[in-house]
C-alpha cells in the first residue's frame, strides 16, 4: 500500500537532474513523411517497420508506467510515429489515467499527434482521460503543408481535428511548428494570425538534428530570436514566466491580449541542464536523451517475469548513469559526428 505521507522520490542523474517525465512511443509508423522526421527516401514503401510481436503491448506499457510513477515521474506523454495509428490507443490512455503517482495523486496524460485522425478520435480521447493535446502543423497553406509532409493530406483535416478537440474540451491545445529556413518560415505570421484569440497556444521549434536521416545543417535553422523578431514586427510580445521548472518552451504573450506563444530553442539556447525526460521506445528500449544512440532493453526482462523491483533497479541504474547534454555540446570542436536514433522510433 502506498504511504500518502512519504516524500516524493528524487532519482538523480550524474548532473543532479530528477526523473519527472516519461515519453512513450506507441508506434513507429506514421501516415505522413515529413522531411525532418521520416523522409520518404529512407522510410519508403520498402522500409521494414517493427512487427507487432516486437511492440510493447498495452498491458506491458501500463506495468512499466506504474514502475516509473513510483520513481517520481509526474507526467506521461504518448508519441510516435503517429500515436493515433495504434489501434485502441484510447484504451491505453484510460488504463494509464487510472494509475497514481508515488504520492497517490492522479497523473497527467498527454499526447502528440499530426491531427489527421483527430476529428474522429477526439471524443474518445477525452472520455478516456487524456489531459493535454499537442498537434504538429508546419504550415497553413496547402502547398507548404503537402511539401513538408510529402503527402496529399490536407491542412483542413488537421484544422478540423483541432476544432473537434476544442469542442470536446481537450484544452488548452498546443500547436507545434518546426521552422526550417527556405522552406516554411513564411508561414509563421499566417499561423500566428490564424490562432490568435482562439485559446490555442502556438509554439515554434528550431529545426533540430534528431536522427541521421533529415540532412540537418545549422544554416537551415531559423533561430528563436529571428522567430520572435518576425512575430514582434506584426504583434508586440512580452515575456511570460515558465509554468514549471524545466519547461522547454520560452513563453510569450501578445501585449493586446491575443493569447500566448512559445518558442523551443533547443539548438541556440540549449536547456539540457533542466531536462527531466526519459523515453520508452515502441519496442521497450529506454533512452535518456532525444539524441541518444543506444538504449537499454526493458522488454526482455519484462517478458521474462522480472519483478517490479528488478525493473525499478534497472531504470534507476540507467538514469543514475545519465550524463547526456547533447544540445549543449552540439557545436563543440570535440564533438564527432555520430549516429543517433530516429525520432519516429523514439518519439518527439
User: What's the whole-model pTM score?
Assistant: 0.91
Q: What is the mean pLDDT of each run of 10 residues along the chain (348 residues)?
A: 58 94 96 87 90 97 98 96 97 97 93 98 98 97 94 97 97 95 95 97 88 68 95 96 83 96 87 88 94 91 97 97 76 51 68
Q: According to the model, what pLDDT value does residue 318 have?
A: 97
> How much is the pLDDT for 3?
43
Beta-carbon count within 10 A of 239 CB: 10
Place of cell 512487427: 51
Cell numbers found for residue 74: 509526474
What is the distance, to the nearest Å, from the Cα of residue 143 to the centroid of all Cα atoms in its chain?
25
* C-alpha span between 339 and 293 (Å, rounded): 6
C-alpha pair distances (Å), 323 with each of 206, 268, 289, 319, 328? 23, 20, 9, 9, 12
Query: What is the CA 82 to chain-centroid distance, rounded?
Result: 11
* Domain chopping of the chain, boundaries: 21-173+276-346
Q: Which three cell numbers stand for residue 15?
A: 548532473
- What is d(CA 310, CA 299) in angstroms, rounded to the nearest whole number? 13
Select from 3.20.20.70, 3.30.1050.10, 3.40.50.300, 3.60.20.10 the CATH code of 21-173+276-346: 3.20.20.70
User: Which residues 6+ apart lie within 8 Å of 104 measured at CB?
Assistant: 2, 4
CA 155 from centre of chain:
21
* DSSP classification of residue 50: P
Identify the pLDDT of residue 134. Answer: 98
Amino acid at each position: 500500500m502506498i504511504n500518502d505521507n512519504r516524500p516524493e522520490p528524487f532519482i538523480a542523474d550524474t548532473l543532479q537532474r530528477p526523473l519527472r517525465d516519461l515519453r512513450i512511443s506507441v508506434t513507429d509508423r506514421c501516415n505522413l513523411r515529413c522531411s525532418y522526421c521520416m523522409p520518404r527516401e529512407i522510410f519508403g514503401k520498402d522500409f521494414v517497420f517493427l512487427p507487432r510481436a516486437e511492440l510493447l503491448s498495452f498491458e506491458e506499457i501500463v506495468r512499466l508506467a506504474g514502475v516509473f510513477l513510483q520513481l517520481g515521474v509526474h507526467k506521461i506523454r504518448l508519441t510516435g510515429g503517429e500515436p493515433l495509428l495504434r489501434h485502441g490507443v484510447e484504451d491505453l490512455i484510460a488504463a494509464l489515467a487510472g494509475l497514481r503517482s508515488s504520492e497517490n495523486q492522479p497523473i497527467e496524460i498527454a499526447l502528440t499527434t499530426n491531427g489527421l485522425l483527430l476529428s474522429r478520435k477526439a471524443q474518445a480521447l477525452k472520455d478516456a482521460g487524456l489531459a493535454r493535446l499537442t498537434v504538429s502543423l508546419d504550415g497553413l497553406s496547402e502547398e507548404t503543408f503537402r511539401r513538408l509532409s510529402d503527402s496529399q493530406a490536407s491542412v483542413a483535416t488537421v484544422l478540423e481535428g483541432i476544432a473537434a478537440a476544442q469542442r470536446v474540451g481537450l484544452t488548452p491545445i498546443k500547436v507545434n511548428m518546426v521552422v526550417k529556413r527556405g522552406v516554411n518560415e513564411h508561414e509563421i505570421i499566417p499561423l500566428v494570425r490564424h490562432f490568435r484569440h482562439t485559446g490555442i497556444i502556438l509554439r515554434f521549434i528550431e529545426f533540430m538534428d534528431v536522427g541521421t536521416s533529415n540532412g540537418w545543417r545549422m544554416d537551415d535553422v531559423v533561430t528563436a530570436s529571428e522567430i520572435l523578431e518576425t512575430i514582434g514586427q506584426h504583434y508586440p510580445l512580452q515575456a511570460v514566466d515558465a509554468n514549471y521548472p524545466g519547461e522547454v518552451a520560452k513563453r510569450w504573450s501578445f501585449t493586446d491580449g491575443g493569447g500566448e506563444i512559445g518558442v523551443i530553442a533547443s539548438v541556440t539556447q540549449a536547456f539540457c541542464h533542466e531536462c527531466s525526460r526519459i523515453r520508452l521506445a515502441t519496442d521497450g528500449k529506454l533512452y535518456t536523451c532525444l539524441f541518444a544512440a543506444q538504449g537499454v532493453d526493458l522488454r526482455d526482462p519484462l517478458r521474462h517475469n522480472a519483478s517490479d523491483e528488478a525493473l525499478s533497479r534497472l531504470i534507476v541504474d540507467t538514469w543514475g548513469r545519465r550524463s547526456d547534454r547533447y544540445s549543449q555540446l552540439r557545436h563543440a570542436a570535440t564533438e564527432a559526428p555520430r549516429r543517433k536514433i530516429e525520432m519516429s522510433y523514439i518519439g518527439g
